[in-house]
Structure 1
């Protein structure tokens, strides 16, 4: 089991303390494993596992506890038999109706430390979430970074070098469970297809009462095929109209929002670098795990430029950057990344295979006059840095602890 220190480092100051720890992210990204890692941390600090109470609400055996009242009664009964502080772990809490009521009651009535997971971004945005306002801290858990993937992949294939691991990562993606399948191509594909179906049916269709599932799947397919490509809801409606299907932009926007809430996609706004404003049209979308894209829709190697961009974008989220797409005159910078007082620019391409490509990728920075770091990231092995702009091989870039 990978220790996922990037997340544990953020969680550690809150372990054993008052705020409710909320772990969210796409289904299958490793939230349940994070709960196990937190338990290990607690045990290593001297806490007995007899003080732990754990429920996964997607397990059939716990279906009778999926109301706030039933869960409250069960926890009060179990905690009566435990001496000292109680550590409560609730996996996929969104399955419990009015779960915020009982969680808030536990916080008030018990000497406890609470950890919950959920697969929806709206977990804490509903009316009932006012019960917990200011009393929780949220952590988004993403699929494996390339660094995490490589660590597990080389435990299965010790002779694999970083280049071999990265080639596998391009198609397999970062879902943690794939290591249990020893990265065998067909079982991994079947698992990712089943995971995708589960996200669509449980976290999008069921949660939002989607009636036109065919339309939803068509919208998902369109976005997936066009990751990293600017488009609007209007462009999707025009696409469907060309196929003889009429759909409103409002419906398209609603269905996209459901996908964002389920962490299937992430939306990136565009920033006008000259006008210093955020643009609200032709946003970009990226998929949470490019392995799902390959398993369900295929084409990762054909669209490798987009996949590399997707991989870099997800790494930026893991490192807690706020990301926008930069528009400067007629040129576009893939990512403007900001965190606290840090800022950097990143341009992603497959290969710098010609002078025209080199001029295009480095030339996007011509109008940027500040002194923040500027990168061009590609698959090339030779360093082509120039004019103060840093060129990095994508493997090395992803594995770097710091970008300066």
Structure 2
């Protein structure tokens, strides 16, 4: 009851914005399981609560310290308590239920009994892997990210003014100024509501709650050093073997730590695109961080060009794209997605665009070639130049 009261209080007192996501209602229109996944404190619970608002649903947050140590056999007692409190509910919202070993069996039974279940979690391996095994395809995964730039503007109450599909001068100036702020503050709701300092708390929770405790890592300080160093590779290829030698940790341990951070959604990866499967397997991955605030506050980096590339990677990931990069003998392409080749460069005019960016695009077979710049827009020799703020605002 206390947890349910907190939900009502949140919607009464806090600013809740609409997220730019597909309609998830269709996935719970009949008995099914919807798993809302994503990095800790990106707004998963609020999204799930918004989805079920106005419906009679049973709610349990398993991140509550009062439920610490709960076991699978206790879940039936929780289910009974929900029925006693709220009647014969049709929906269940189970926050961070992967804290309970064997939880997927309980969720599967609820679905078989005709219930519509929404679960949230901050570990992709635990949720998608265990659900896939228990439900054999009878569930949908959706990954949520911290606020996009468009959602950030909406939260700040900044309207994008257009006239005949053209941005007004005032609106364009405001957007560029806010983009610079967004690149520093990022899109974690708590950081925007409370303070930028919340970023340190969020990162610490990811490190200790979602990786250290799940992998039972004993060398906690060394792992934190590894995590911070990994973030510094953002928008670059990362060599785990080099990190292994630098930290004097076995390659197996480094790989386990790396996958732990990927599974916690702290970083996302881009794979090398190649027609040779073995080459793809042994090629290093490029990494991007889940929110620009980690770049400015944790990695302590202020490179505009690399941050721009990270923002483009996040925008593509939010659209559900799998990330690929191309690397030839003497050229590189930042992204290849659905026949579109994309380069990112910090340029405000044609003369500022490095020749290597265009040469890279010309080496690739693609239906469309795009260069995302800071503030240059044009079409030259079938190459489309788009300012990053316009790219980020595109639906």
TM-score by length of 2: 0.86
* 2:242 equivalent in structure 1: 235
Q: Deviations over 1:201-237 (max 9, x none)?
A: 0000001101122221222122211111113212223
> Does structure 2 conserve the Cα–Cα contact (< 8 Å) formed by 1:272 and 1:328?
no
Distance in 2 (alpha carbons) for counterparts of 1:68 and 1:218: 35
> Does structure 1 conserve the Cα–Cα contact (< 8 Å) formed by 2:270 and 2:286?
yes
* 2:269 equivalent in structure 1: 267
* 1:184 equivalent in structure 2: none
* 2:355 equivalent in structure 1: 359
Distance in 2 (alpha carbons) for counterparts of 1:153 and 1:81: 38
Structure 1 pair 5–377 and aligned structure 2 pair: CA distance change class (3 A): closer
User: Residues 63-82 of structure 1 correspond to what in structure 2 (within 5 A)?
Assistant: 63=68, 66-79=70-83
Q: Tell me by how many angstroms 1:125 deviates.
A: 5.3
Q: Tell me by how many angstroms 1:246 deviates.
A: 2.2
Q: Deviations over 1:90-135 (max 9, x none)?
A: 11111222211221222223x4211000110112355685222222
Task: Please give the secondary structure, in 2, of the residue aligned with 1:122.
Answer: helix
> Does structure 1 conserve the Cα–Cα contact (< 8 Å) formed by 2:20 and 2:151?
no
* 2:65 equivalent in structure 1: 60
* 2:383 equivalent in structure 1: 389
5+ residue gaps in structure 1?
182-186
Q: Tell me by how many angstroms 1:28 deviates.
A: 0.9
Structure 1 pair 276–333 and aligned structure 2 pair: CA distance change class (3 A): farther
Task: Please give the secondary structure, in 1, of the residue aligned with 2:92.
Answer: strand
2:227 to 204, 220, 228: 220
* 1:124 equivalent in structure 2: 127
Distance in 2 (alpha carbons) for counterparts of 1:179 and 1:369: 42
* 1:144 equivalent in structure 2: 147
* 1:23 equivalent in structure 2: 36
Distance in 1 (alpha carbons) for counterparts of 2:316 and 2:32: 26
Q: Tell me by how many angstroms 1:282 deviates.
A: 2.2
User: Residues 160-175 of structure 1 correspond to what in structure 2 (within 5 A)?
Assistant: 161-175=174-188
- The alignment status of 1:347 with 2:351, answered yes or no, reads no
Distance in 1 (alpha carbons) for counterparts of 2:125 and 2:365: 39
Q: Tell me by how many angstroms 1:265 deviates.
A: 0.8
> Does structure 2 conserve the Cα–Cα contact (< 8 Å) formed by 1:272 and 1:279?
no
Task: Please give the secondary structure, in 2, of the residue aligned with 1:211.
Answer: coil
Q: Deviations over 1:15-40 (max 9, x none)?
A: 23222000111001110111121023
Provide the aligned C-alpha RMSD in A: 2.6
User: Residues 79-98 of structure 1 correspond to what in structure 2 (within 5 A)?
Assistant: 79=83, 85-98=89-102
User: Number of residue pairs matched?
Assistant: 370
> Does structure 1 conserve the Cα–Cα contact (< 8 Å) formed by 2:104 and 2:130?
no
2:116 to 93, 113, 118: 113
* 1:32 equivalent in structure 2: 45
Distance in 1 (alpha carbons) for counterparts of 2:370 and 2:193: 36
* 1:133 equivalent in structure 2: 136
Structure 1 pair 279–359 and aligned structure 2 pair: CA distance change class (3 A): farther
- The alignment status of 1:99 with 2:94, answered yes or no, reads no
> Does structure 2 conserve the Cα–Cα contact (< 8 Å) formed by 1:55 and 1:62?
no
Q: Tell me by how many angstroms 1:279 deviates.
A: 5.2
